[in-house]
Amino acid sequence: MAHDSIQGFKADLVLSGLATEADFAAIDEFVVSTITEAVRLAIDPVVSPRMSLQKTPDAIEKIMFSNTRMPKMEDREPDLLQKREDNLRVQQIAKKERFAFDANGKPVSKNKVYQYRDALFEAVLDGFCTDPTLVAYGEENRDWGGAFAVYRGLTELVPYHRLFNSPIAEGAIVGSAVGYAMSGGRALVELMYADFLGRAGDEVFNQLPKWQAMSAGILKMPVVLRVSVGSKYGAQHSQDWTALVAHIPGLKVVFPATPYDAKGLLAAALNGTDPVIFFESQRLYDYAEQFHQGGVPAESYEIAIGEPDIKRQGKDLTILTIGATLYRALEAAERFEKEFGLSVEVIDARSMVPFNYEKVIESVQKTGRIIVAGDACDRGSYLSELARNIGDLCFDDLDAPVAVLGSRNWITPAFELESDFFPQASWFLDICHQRVLPLPGYVADKSFADVELIRRNKFGV
């Protein structure tokens, strides 16, 4: 006690005349009474009944997610700098074609077509114009249109206290978002690259997903964390770390690959009260909508988180994809049909947590075969989790084992070598020939042969 810094500080304050012994006695009395009351409430069986998983087996499940739709966290008008219709980017987007192809089936030029980044912009814009508590921040969010030009135009529309740049401090970005949400606000924050998730490990893995359940459902956690999955930038900026967050209970995880899905899923995330990790592929920011007839609606709409979508109908083979690999799978589907007469059904997962397996089961019951594919490294990926569940749920319907097609278990190489790292269209034919269904006359790369799989695992590559 002679060296207790608290007692020493107290003595210095008393000696300097800044406080009296009576002041500290009052503080001590307040602390003791507050803690005593908290303990009394905690041990009162009526006020704080004990949870019984025997009586209510789903008690913990019910408090992990609030699953509440709440577009406005407070009932007041949002602070804006201009009317929505006066915003230059809003006016520019209004002139764009919202579907990838014109009436003759020809692709619309990139400078005239509505893109993936425009879909994200519109969802964020709807959020800012609806929820007065919504704030968005991250590294380079306000200037230069934000990362990858998603936020271009918002600087003129949204005041600085609602959209601002943060320091390069990922832990502080996510941690402050958690605190803001616990205080009743809604946060849209960005880490720019998935590789930076490690800089906010405790905040993403321990704080963001846990507080709703730890508060017995009293608190809500309306935080959307935007994370891009890179390409072109090598080992430390081009990794798909979806498996890391999908592994953590209490987080919702989505990865849309089309403009229509991106707008609808981001709207659902921003109108909800649960933490959502929202992955985006940097390869797709300038992609146009190719699937939803009529293009992307101008008005706001929501897509339920957890529902996969069939992007191509087929009857001989199913391919389930996560993220940008969807487009390589569609290329492969064309080759399967043209070269081997195989009809391929392509399903876009869109979400990882939650995930409704019903459409996948129905597809496998029809085709008897499935490849699960994504850009994450094969080892330890969420692809394997999907494959395991599909193998269990579709055991009687499968004519071959579930095949998993991910990136190589390497550090991500330089851009000019990425075609040897990320799944390509030809890889789908290779893995199908060697693991699922032999293709007549096809000469496959040996990457998926037993001896090669054993060799790679032996050396950890």
Residues linked to residue 371 through DSSP beta bridges, in sequence order: 319, 403
Going by their DSSP bridges, the two strands 344-348 and 309-312 should be labelled as antiparallel
Residue the block writes with tokens 């009052």: 26
Question: What gap in Å lies between CA 226 and CA 190, rounded to an integer?
Answer: 5
- Give me the phi and psi of 435, to 5 degrees please: -120, -20
SS3 content of the chain, % helix, strand, coil (to 5): 45, 15, 45
Going by their DSSP bridges, the two strands 134-138 and 403-407 should be labelled as unpaired
Question: What gap in Å lies between CA 47 and CA 42, rounded to an integer?
Answer: 7
* Residues designated catalytic: 237
Which of 424, 307, 325 is CA-nearest to residue 373?
A: 325
Residue the block writes with tokens 């921003």: 270
Give all strands (DSSP E) within 295-431, no chain letters: 309-312, 317-321, 344-348, 351-353, 370-377, 403-407
Question: What gap in Å lies between CA 427 and CA 296, rounded to an integer?
Answer: 31
